[in-house]
Amino acid sequence: MKYAIKIHKISAVDELENSWNIEDYKELLDRFELPNVESTDIKELRELLFMAIADKDPSEAARIVLEYKLSDEMNEHQIDSVSYEMLVDKISEEYPRIGLHKRLFCVNQLLYKAFNGKFPTAKATIVDFEITPKRNAQEEITKEIALKCFAQNLDSHNVIIRLFGKQLNGDEEFDEANDIIWDILKTETGYQFITSEYFMSKEEFINKEFDCEIEFFSEE
């Protein structure tokens, strides 16, 4: 399948919009022993939460937020371990389960800002682009299609190219694409996807416009 791509904008951000809502902040305030806060101003709730978080030991604060955000995916031992590792490692990039990277990023950055830098910071990459299918290529743009196309426009030292060469070439299924690309959505001018800076940094993109040809895995 062949596609033509034009990149409009590449952004590096240290926080995802709407990653925490009013209900999240109120529930976390309750867990940080500030229950029954009546405010519905999201900025005020965030400030109150930051003060409550900063009153705790960093690893204890991390454990509380992790339990809220990831208790459906991690057991108590894993949460305890990650709550300490987060203080020294970029856990949202290094955790073995790629499918948890987005949520770990949101937790990490909340703690990073609440503690004014005691936690290592991380960034996400947001790419706004147009993509045009050629020669009857699939028109529904999936995470796998976007990732395989953009991998052809990245520096050869990029971690995706190094770790997932067979999947990118269509020699193996590429289930990981759904986790490497956190979100993909249609916009007024085309599409936008979000991923970790670990997988794609602004500096690794080569051209603003490019053509690509991709292959999908098929069992013979």
State what percent of residues in the chain have pLDDT above 70.
100
Mark whether 65 and 81 lie in a shared domain.
yes
Do residues 214 and 170 touch, judged by C-beta distance below 8 A? Answer: yes
Number of domains comprising the chain:
2
Whether 133 is covered by a domain: the verdict is yes
Ramachandran angles phi, psi of 94, nearest 5°: -100, -15
What is the C-alpha to C-alpha distance for residues 14 and 158, in angstroms, rounded to an integer?
20
Domain, as residue range, for 88: 22-114
Domain stops at, among 58, 89, 114: 114
Q: How large is the average pLDDT for residues 16-23?
A: 96
Mark whether 102 and 178 lie in a shared domain.
no
Whether 95 is covered by a domain: the verdict is yes
Q: How large is the average pLDDT for residues 112-128?
A: 97
For helices 101-114 and 58-70, the axis angle rounded to 10 degrees is: 150
Do residues 42 and 184 touch, judged by C-beta distance below 8 A? Answer: no
Mark whether 143 and 90 lie in a shared domain.
no
Tokens for 74, please give them.
């991690």
**Predicted local confidence at residue 219, as pLDDT:** 76
Mark whether 180 and 146 lie in a shared domain.
yes
Whether 218 is covered by a domain: the verdict is no
Higher pLDDT, 36 or 79: 79
**Predicted local confidence at residue 99, as pLDDT:** 98
Tokens for 5, please give them.
């791509």
Whether 54 is covered by a domain: the verdict is yes
pTM of the model: 0.95
Mark whether 28 and 106 lie in a shared domain.
yes
